[in-house]
Amino acid sequence: MNNQDIYFPSMYFSYGQFMVFDQSVKLPGCDWTNEHFAQGFARRESTACIRALDECGQANVRVRTTPYVAKGEYLRVIAVPFVVESGVVLVEGPEELGTERTIKLLPGYYRLVVAQAMAGEEEVIDLFFERAPEALRVSEIL
């Protein structure tokens, strides 16, 4: 993927979450504890389940391969280690089936930054895939 933005309108999120995961992951859901809920995410090596700003609704998703840049409108920003194995990453709500919301990335290690804002009734989600030279170990709440 080059440095151009990819825009996906109208992702339906539910159960207060959405998922970003490598296509090789067959069951992308994560078990949520109270600690996960408080921090706003649960993750595994090639899966990130992110707490949405609302329980359910529509979100517009923008994907970038440029470094994250802070904006005043972001209400929640987290960064997690992420491994791309297959070269294809999906972004889905838990109840969506067969979406074509795919991102092609070079296999390897990434820092996935998820920045969330509200625009009226809809959530806006910016995903930044920052390439990393080696596996990252630490998640951050920015």
At 3, the pLDDT band (50, 70, 90 cuts) reads low
Sign of CA dihedral 101, 106, 112, 116: negative
Q: Averaging pLDDT over each range in 27-41, 70-84, 92-106, which range is the top one?
A: 70-84
| pTM score | 0.92
On the question of pLDDT at 4 being above 80, the answer is: no
Structure-derived torsion over alpha carbons of residues 37, 40, 42, 48, reported in degrees to the nearest 10? 150
Cβ-in-10-Å burial (0-12, 13-18, 19+) of 79 comes to buried
Cβ-in-10-Å burial (0-12, 13-18, 19+) of 10 comes to exposed
Q: Assign 91 to helix, strand or coil.
A: strand
On the question of pLDDT at 65 being above 80, the answer is: yes
Say which amino acid occupies 141. I
